[in-house]
């Protein structure tokens, strides 16, 4: 979606939560239509994150009764848990326009000005990956968030002058996977800060069953549970693995997603019973076989596997840590007894 495109457009895509009661399809749904169909329209269409939804319902209801804009909101948490989904559903609940951009795309304060000046009263500015805003852009936001104005310097040297430009009262919604990287002054300017946690299997099953209905795919409950157990508690991963299993069922079977078909499809992708993929198991095997269980530094592991250390830290280790298969120590990474048991 382009920054200037209204959220009410039909070009809506699948994002973090990946569920919803979107446009009903007719017959078989082309892959290019999946995003539009699966995107949630309202917060009530979402599954899980009950505590976050309760807070948002109260804040939205109070803002509507006051006739004012919603307070600034910051969502943080691991990727794929619904930050962007919440940020795009909130404008619908408020009945307002939304402007969307990302932290890395705003390289200078002047690139933020069009977004701010295009905002209508009560509308929403959504900045994804807000922790990656450059410092000058972040500081430029301070007065915009607090006083709804921006200061623009015109000219240079002794001829320079400052113009104070008033903005329409708006709501800034930020999403980040690394809240600790936000500066204190920016973080404190958000009125509501919510952390999104991982989903349990029951919530993921409900998401998958809804998705199957929207895509007109026959998904058996035990197959949905099998996918959910291997989805790492993340709706985005559950959706991606479901779409692969659907394709496998259409190609190798009669299109019905059964538990047996699901097992074969995920086995073909190298995804085991707890959700580990080939790279996860290779990491554990390297740590146990080459480094005798550790401790081993992430850079040493990366060099041995021919994988960048950033990839290991950002994509591989979080789930292994959460699954209690490795631990981090001051000396490096160590495999746990549970990890050793997997390779006996």
Strands (E), the chain: 73-76, 98-102, 124-128, 149-154, 161-166, 171-176, 192-195, 326-329, 332-335
Which residue from 191, 186, 231 is spatially nearest to 207, judged by alpha carbons? 231
Quote the crossing angle between the two packed helices 201-215 and 221-229, to the nearest 10°: 120
Kindly list the distances between the CA atom of residue 156 and the CA atoms of 74, 137, 159, 165, in Å, as whole numbers in the listed order: 36, 19, 6, 19
Structure tokens at 315: 């994509």
Catalytic residue among 177, 258, 262, 286: 177
> Is residue 42 flagged as an active site residue?
no
- Cβ partners under 8 Å of residue 154, min gap 6: 160, 161, 162, 163
> Is residue 84 flagged as an active site residue?
yes
> Is residue 102 flagged as an active site residue?
no
Catalytic residue among 84, 101, 171, 336: 84
Catalytic residue among 15, 76, 128, 203: 128
Which residue in the block uniquely carries the two structure tokens 């991606």? 240
Strands (E), 65-148: 73-76, 98-102, 124-128
> Is residue 286 flagged as an active site residue?
no
SS3 state of residue 52: helix
> Is residue 314 flagged as an active site residue?
no
Catalytic residue among 187, 189, 232, 236: 236
Catalytic residue among 83, 132, 214, 241: 83
C-alpha–C-alpha distance, residues 283 and 317, integer Å: 9
Q: Is the peptide bond before 246 cis (omega within 30 degrees of 0)?
A: no
Residues 242/211, Cβ–Cβ less than 8 Å: yes
Instruction: Point out the residues that are catalytic.
Output: 83-84, 128, 177, 236
């Amino acid at each position: 979606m382009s920054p200037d495109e209204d959220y009410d457009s039909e070009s809506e895509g699948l994002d973090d939560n990946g569920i919803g009661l979107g446009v009903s399809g007719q017959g078989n749904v082309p892959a290019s239509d999946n995003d539009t169909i699966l995107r949630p329209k309202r917060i009530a269409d979402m599954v899980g994150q009950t505590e976050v939804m309760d807070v948002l319902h109260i804040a939205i209801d109070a803002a509507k009764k006051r006739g004012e804009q919603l307070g600034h909101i910051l969502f943080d948490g691991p990727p794929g848990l619904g930050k962007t989904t919440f940020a795009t559903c909130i404008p619908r609940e408020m009945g307002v326009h939304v402007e969307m951009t990302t932290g890395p795309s705003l390289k200078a304060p002047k690139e933020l000005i069009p977004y701010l000046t295009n905002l209508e009263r009560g509308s929403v500015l959504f900045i994804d990956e807000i922790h990656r805003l450059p410092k000058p852009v972040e500081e430029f936001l301070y007065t915009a968030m607090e006083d709804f104005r921006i200061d623009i310097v015109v000219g240079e040297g002794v001829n320079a002058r400052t113009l104070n430009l008033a903005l329409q009262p708006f709501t800034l919604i930020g999403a980040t996977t690394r809240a600790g990287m936000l500066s204190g002054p920016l973080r404190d300017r958000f009125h509501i800060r919510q952390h999104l946690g991982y989903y349990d299997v029951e919530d993921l099953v409900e998401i998958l069953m809804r998705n199957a209905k929207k895509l007109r795919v026959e998904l058996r409950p035990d197959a949905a549970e099998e996918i959910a157990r291997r989805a790492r508690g993340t709706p985005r991963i559950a959706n991606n693995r479901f779409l692969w299993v659907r394709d496998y069922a259409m190609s190798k079977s009669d299109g019905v997603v059964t538990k047996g078909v699901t097992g074969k499809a995920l086995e073909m992708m190298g995804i085991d019973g707890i959700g580990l993929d080939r790279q996860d198991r290779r990491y554990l095997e390297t740590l146990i076989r080459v480094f005798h269980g550790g401790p081993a530094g992430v850079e040493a592991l990366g060099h041995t596997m021919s994988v960048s250390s950033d990839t290991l830290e950002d994509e591989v280790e979080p789930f292994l840590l959460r699954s209690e298969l490795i631990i981090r120590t001051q000396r490096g990474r160590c495999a746990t007894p549970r990890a050793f048991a997997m390779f006996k």
